[in-house]
């Protein structure tokens, strides 16, 4: 697969961090997806959102549509995902997401995923083979040390060279060992879903 080339990684490279909100596991319904646009790890430039089915198969399509229909799309250079799985086991196929958006994808996990446990859980869900294929398309797991010995993260990539992905992660991880766009996406997604839940009570 072709990859996007980066001659240099600018300090203010525009990245999109994506995370999901709180949801009830194994219960039919939808989960909120939040995308946060950041200039490097310095300034928040915008927010976008969509919804996906809990344990569904629509994460790749819905996230791609959210991005290409956003006014921020022309300025974005990289998509960062909080892992591969959203809303339970709604798995993003990062190769397809790269093709649909034209933007390289970096999926980042704070802890090393237990692939055997995930595969075992998929046995209980419909379209198991499609979900497994999406996982396989993410390729190898790369262990990355960020900000010295402060922390390790685990990365899978599509449409970008490993060395460029690591440069971008380090440039955008300004306040922790997680890129700022992902850290803020997590805060916003969690806060909005908690607020919605409280308003219903």
The fold adopted by the segment(s) 14-192 is archaeoglobus fulgidus dsm 4304 fold (3.30.2170)
One pLDDT digit (tens) per residue for the chain, 201 residues: 689 889 899 999 999 999 998 877 767 899 999 999 999 999 999 999 999 999 999 999 999 999 999 999 999 999 999 999 999 999 999 999 999 999 999 999 998 888 888 888 888 899 999 999 999 999 999 999 886 556 789 999 999 999 999 999 999 999 888 999 999 999 999 888 755 554 454
Query: Half-sphere exposure (CA, 13 Å, Cβ side) for 92?
Result: 33
Average pLDDT, rounded, for the chain? 90
Residue 61: count of CB within 10 angstroms of its CB = 16
pLDDT at 82: 97
What residues does each domain of the chain span? 14-192
Token pair for 118: 């995930």
Cα–Cα distance, 18 to 36 (Å, whole number) = 6
Q: Which helix (H) or strand (E) holds 195?
A: helix 180-200
Cα–Cα distance, 97 to 60 (Å, whole number) = 6
pLDDT at 26: 67
pLDDT at 7: 87
Decide: 32 and 52 in contact? Cβ < 8 Å: no
Decide: 166 and 180 in contact? Cβ < 8 Å: no
Q: Three-class SS of residue 15?
A: strand
pLDDT at 199: 42
pLDDT at 201: 42
DSSP string, 48-117: EEEEEETT-S-HHHHHHHHHHTSTTGGG--EEEEESSEETTTEE--HHHHHHHHSS-EEEEESS---HHH
pLDDT at 31: 92
pLDDT at 150: 62
Q: Report the relative pairing of strands 78-82 and 105-109 from DSSP bridges.
A: parallel
pLDDT at 170: 92
- Give per-residue burial for 162-196: e unless 16+ CB within 10 Å, then b: eebbbbbbbbbbeeebbbbbbbbbbebbbebbeee
Q: What are phi and psi of 79, to 5 degrees?
A: -105, 135
Task: Name, in order, each residue with C-beta under 8 angstroms of 65's C-beta and a sequence gap of 6 or more.
Answer: 50
């Amino acid at each position: 697969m072709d990859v996007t080339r980066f001659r240099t990684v600018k300090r203010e490279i525009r990245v999109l961090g994506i995370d999901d909100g709180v949801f009830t596991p194994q219960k039919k319904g939808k989960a909120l997806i939040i995308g946060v646009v950041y200039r490097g790890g310095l300034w928040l430039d915008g927010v976008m959102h969509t919804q996906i089915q809990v344990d569904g198969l629509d994460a790749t399509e819905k996230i791609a549509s959210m991005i290409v229909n956003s006014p921020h799309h022309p300025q974005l250079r990289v998509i960062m995902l909080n892992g591969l799985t959203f809303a339970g086991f709604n798995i993003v196929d990062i190769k397809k997401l790269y093709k649909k958006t034209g933007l390289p994808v970096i999926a980042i996990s704070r802890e090393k995923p237990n692939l055997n446990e995930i595969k075992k859980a998929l046995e209980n869900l419909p379209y198991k083979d499609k979900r497994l294929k999406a996982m396989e398309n993410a390729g190898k797991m790369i262990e990355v040390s960020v900000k010295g010995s402060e922390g390790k993260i685990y990365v899978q990539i599509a449409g970008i060279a490993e060395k460029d992905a690591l440069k971008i992660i380090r440039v955008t991880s300004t306040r922790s060992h997680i890129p700022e766009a992902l850290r803020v996406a997590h805060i916003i997604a969690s806060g909005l879903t908690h607020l919605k839940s409280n308003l219903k009570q």
